Amino acid sequence: MADPASYRPQTGEIPTNPGVYRFRDPHGQVIYVGKAKNLRSRLNSYFANPGGLLPKTFAMVHTASSVEWTVVGSELESLQLEYTWIKEFKPRFNVMFRDDKSYPYLAVTMAEKYPRVQVLRGERRKGTRYFGPFTAGAIRDTMDTLLRVFPVRSCSAGVLKRAEASGRPCLLGYIDKCAAPCVSRISAEDHRALAEDFCTFMGGEAKPFVARLEKDMAAAVAELDYERAARIRDDIVALKKVFERNAVVLAEGTDADVFALHEDELEAAVQVFHVRGGRIRGQRGWVVEKVEDSTTPDLVEHLLQQVYGDEAGIQGRLPREVLVPAEPSNAPELAEWLSGLRGARVDIRVPQRGDKAALLSTVRENAEHALKLHKSRRAGDLTLRSQALQELQEALELPVALMRIECFDISHVQGTNVVGSMVVVEDGLPKKSDYRKFSVTGAAANDDTAAMHDVLTRRFRNYLQEQAGLAEAARKPGHQASLEAAAAVAVADTTTPAPRSKFAYPPNLVVVDGGKPQVNAAARALAELGIEDVYVVGLAKRLEEVWLPDSDFPVILPRASAGLYLLQRIRDEAHRFAISFHRQKRGKAMTVSALDGVPGLGDSKRKALLAEFGSVKSIKAATAEELTGAKGIGPSLAAAIVRHFNSDDGDGAATVPAINMTTGEILET
């Protein structure tokens, strides 16, 4: 018997949307299907206290080995999807709706002389309009509510015959829940029109009926008939509730497959909802690895080819419409190919508005949740982390375990604002407190390899300096006694954090973003500093090749390798960290003020000038006397500002005089 805690999803991984969930046993068989208004709340109830569950539910959660879910747009959609999957999987722990009955439908027998409203299950009958499905309790409430507004006959054939023979209506006729066509209170034509109105309302056109009732309610209020107005008000509320309960996913008769993607640089989550007759009949989802430089239209093209090309007997299952998030470049040819498979026309469309666009958004939300769940489980799984580290060690033939990995990246725009980043991973998890960033200037900023050499040199030179400082401190007299005293203080003082060295802990592996040139530059930096037992590799982004120093050929890891995934994740994190620092530095460089060249004019005084005059243009036009009106601006500094803007070269960068800030004397240069 399985322990539910072994497969319990993290609370943050479960969405709070309505949806349908499935429990599977160790063989992959679906053993329970359920629906929920709030997936997180419902699923947590199974794991919070398994001992307090009912015997059947207790057995189910201990038989299962995994749980998965699908987000939908409303509670009604979750009901429809739950019904579909119960019929498909026949889960052994689903008791409701698992007998020879099906979900109940609200049916109107339009083929009869006096159409009848009733609850029907099982196979559909000719000449009968069906609405639903419903739960057993909801369908009775819906029927009772609607018969108040649309008093269509609901009695059986035997009761109808007896009423016709006796000339007296049944109980429903007496309480105004039936128009009583059996005793000619209403003609057969008018009764059929009433049944048509009933079907129109159930088909989704509720606004005309609600508007009519609202007009009747206003008339009752005008006549001071408040009791009648209250009854009509209750009818309006009930009709609105029924209409919301019976809203369908798409228009009845709509057959479509709805595809959505959510992707990042490495992977894409795919979700497809199969809509038949306007309702979701099935759902599939998976995560695929992206090919480098593949676009969303490319992914859509390959996706449709894979889904429909690998299925046998597709002719009876391919829908009239295929809704996609982006139109593939060869959409006409692809549509023609699908039409040939189906034996009839197939349209490939990108919905822009309306119900289909809303459903596509729901499918996309499922894809987003699927990718987040995939990545969080893959990154957080201790077994996968250990496997990834072991795979890397074996593939690179390293003699040491990879306890600490550091990754370096360079970021710039055409050689300007060059920066480097260092991210750290320990035991397969990021250690953000050890992240570092570097500004690269001078000759090192000329190209990526020089910048990489500079960053690695600075990182490990700092490491050597810290090691030398520790060794020097250890040689001083009384060092051991000071250590013992510090340890005693540390035991007593548990609130003051210990000082942390910046670079004292060396990595086992250095990863650089790039190919052979970057790897050789990094290895050269370590060799020049005499660093040993630190191994270097590079991850080239185009083909995800792993390069070693002085090697003519890269190491190729399998695309599905956990070790390659770990390297990619570290490389992407270093890239993200470098870009963030580069944007910050570039933003500061772009906000250089024309006032920056004035000696003695600091940030606070610049702000005071701008607050006083509003713009640099106004400051340029001001006299020295006017400038002294700003807070902190004295006569000497005001004269320097005037000379700065009136210099021969326009900005005064080369001709601004020096100022003696003690005496205020302007020194000519």
> Looking at residue 547, which CATH number applies to its domain?
3.30.420.340
> What pLDDT is recorded for position 480?
56
Among the ranges 86-95, 100-109, 603-612, which has the highest mean pLDDT value? 603-612
Same domain, 363 and 407: no
pLDDT band at 486 (very low <50, low <70, confident <90, very high): very low
Q: Looking at 330, 358, 378, which one is the last position of a domain?
A: 378
> What pLDDT is recorded for position 305?
73
Task: List for the chain the helix, strand, coil content (%; round to 5).
Answer: 50, 15, 35
Look at 154-168, 174-188, 537-551 and tell me which has the smallest mean pLDDT.
537-551
CATH of the domain at 69: 3.40.1440.10
Question: Residues 252-260: what's their mean pLDDT?
Answer: 84
> What pLDDT is recorded for position 350?
93
Q: Is 150's pLDDT higher than 70? A: yes
- Percentage of the chain beyond pLDDT 70 is 77
CATH of the domain at 657: 1.10.150
> What pLDDT is recorded for position 146?
78
Question: Residues 2-25: what's their mean pLDDT?
Answer: 88
Q: Is 665's pLDDT higher than 50? A: no
Dump pLDDT digits (tens) for 282-300: 667 788 766 545 678 878 8
> What pLDDT is recorded for position 479?
55
Q: Is 368's pLDDT higher than 60? A: yes
Q: In the beta sheet, which residues pair with residue 474?
A: none
Look at 173-187, 258-272, 295-309 and tell me which has the smallest mean pLDDT.
295-309
Residue of 138, 103, 142 lying closest to 123 (CA atoms): 103
Dump pLDDT digits (tens) for 318-337: 788 999 999 987 788 888 88
Same domain, 346 and 463: no
* Rounded-to-integer distance, Cα 484 and Cα 15, Å: 52
* Rounded-to-integer distance, Cα 642 and Cα 648, Å: 12
Same domain, 325 and 269: yes
| Between 633 and 243, residue with greater pLDDT | 633
Question: Residues 223-243: what's their mean pLDDT?
Answer: 79
* Rounded-to-integer distance, Cα 305 and Cα 290, Å: 16
* Rounded-to-integer distance, Cα 509 and Cα 399, Å: 11
* Rounded-to-integer distance, Cα 267 and Cα 271, Å: 13
Q: Is 104's pLDDT higher than 90? A: no
> What pLDDT is recorded for position 511?
92
Q: In the beta sheet, which residues pair with residue 665?
A: none
* Rounded-to-integer distance, Cα 517 and Cα 529, Å: 19
Residue 628 belongs to a domain:
yes
Same domain, 369 and 395: no
| Between 186 and 472, residue with greater pLDDT | 186
Same domain, 267 and 371: yes
Same domain, 369 and 407: no
Q: In the beta sheet, which residues pair with residue 32?
A: 23
> What pLDDT is recorded for position 317?
64
Same domain, 268 and 361: yes
Question: Residues 437-458: what's their mean pLDDT?
Answer: 86
> What pLDDT is recorded for position 487?
43
pLDDT band at 652 (very low <50, low <70, confident <90, very high): very low
Same domain, 372 and 275: yes
Residue 188 belongs to a domain:
no
Q: Pull the structure tokens for residue 92.
A: 């052994």
Cβ–Cβ under 8 Å, residues 217 and 236:
yes
Greatest Cα pair distance, the chain, in angstroms, is 123
Residue 607 belongs to a domain:
yes
pLDDT band at 365 (very low <50, low <70, confident <90, very high): confident
Rounded to the nearest 10 degrees, how much is the dihedral formed by the CA atoms of 451, 452, 453, 459?
Answer: 110
> What pLDDT is recorded for position 309?
65
Q: Is 97's pLDDT higher than 60? A: no
Q: Is 454's pLDDT higher than 50? A: yes
Question: Residues 196-222: what's their mean pLDDT?
Answer: 80
Question: Residues 175-198: what's their mean pLDDT?
Answer: 87
Look at 179-193, 247-261, 654-668 and tell me which has the smallest mean pLDDT.
654-668
Q: Is 311's pLDDT higher than 70? A: no
Cβ–Cβ under 8 Å, residues 537 and 546:
yes
* Rounded-to-integer distance, Cα 415 and Cα 413, Å: 5
> What pLDDT is recorded for position 664?
39
> What pLDDT is recorded for position 315?
46
Residue type, 521: A
Residue 140 belongs to a domain:
no
Residue 267 belongs to a domain:
yes
> What pLDDT is recorded for position 584?
80
Residue 191 belongs to a domain:
no
> What pLDDT is recorded for position 23?
92
| Between 489 and 465, residue with greater pLDDT | 465
Look at 220-234, 375-389, 614-628 and tell me which has the smallest mean pLDDT.
375-389
Instruction: Please count the other Cβ atoms lying within 10 Å of the Cβ belonging to residue 559.
Output: 10
Q: Is 440's pLDDT higher than 50? A: yes
Q: Is 88's pLDDT higher than 60? A: yes
Residues near 392 by Cβ (< 8 Å), separated by ≥ 6?
Answer: 398, 402, 509, 563, 566, 567
DSSP 113: S
Q: What distances in angstroms separate CA 137 from CA 105, 134, 304, one per listed residue?
A: 12, 8, 41
CATH of the domain at 280: 3.30.420
Same domain, 415 and 555: yes
Looking up tokens 């000038």, which residue turns up? 609
| Between 360 and 416, residue with greater pLDDT | 360
Same domain, 332 and 448: no
The whole domain housing 418 covers 384-484+503-588
Q: Pull the structure tokens for residue 333.
A: 């040819």
Residue 113 belongs to a domain:
no
> What pLDDT is recorded for position 655?
37
> What pLDDT is recorded for position 632?
83
Question: Residues 630-637: what's their mean pLDDT?
Answer: 86
pLDDT band at 495 (very low <50, low <70, confident <90, very high): very low
Q: Is 544's pLDDT higher than 70? A: yes
| Between 366 and 499, residue with greater pLDDT | 366
Task: Note the helical H segments in 398-509.
Answer: 448-475, 479-492
Residue 118 belongs to a domain:
no
Q: Looking at 378, 410, 435, which one is the last position of a domain?
A: 378
> What pLDDT is recorded for position 659?
37
Same domain, 311 and 405: no
Residue of 517, 527, 563 lying closest to 398 (CA atoms): 563
Q: What is the mean pLDDT of the chain?
A: 78
Domain count, the chain: 4
Q: Pull the structure tokens for residue 513.
A: 């973003």
Residue of 383, 421, 423 lying closest to 507 (CA atoms): 423
Q: Looking at 337, 360, 378, which one is the last position of a domain?
A: 378
Phi, psi of 381 (to 5 degrees): -80, 120
Same domain, 321 and 397: no
Q: Is 379's pLDDT higher than 80? A: no
Burial class (CB in 10 A: 0-12, 13-18, 19+), 488: exposed
> What pLDDT is recorded for position 67?
92
pLDDT band at 78 (very low <50, low <70, confident <90, very high): confident
Q: Is 474's pLDDT higher than 80? A: no
Dump pLDDT digits (tens) for 40-75: 999 998 888 777 777 667 878 888 889 999 998 877
| Between 493 and 145, residue with greater pLDDT | 145
Dump pLDDT digits (tens) for 573-631: 888 888 888 788 776 665 456 676 777 787 788 888 888 888 778 888 888 888 888 88
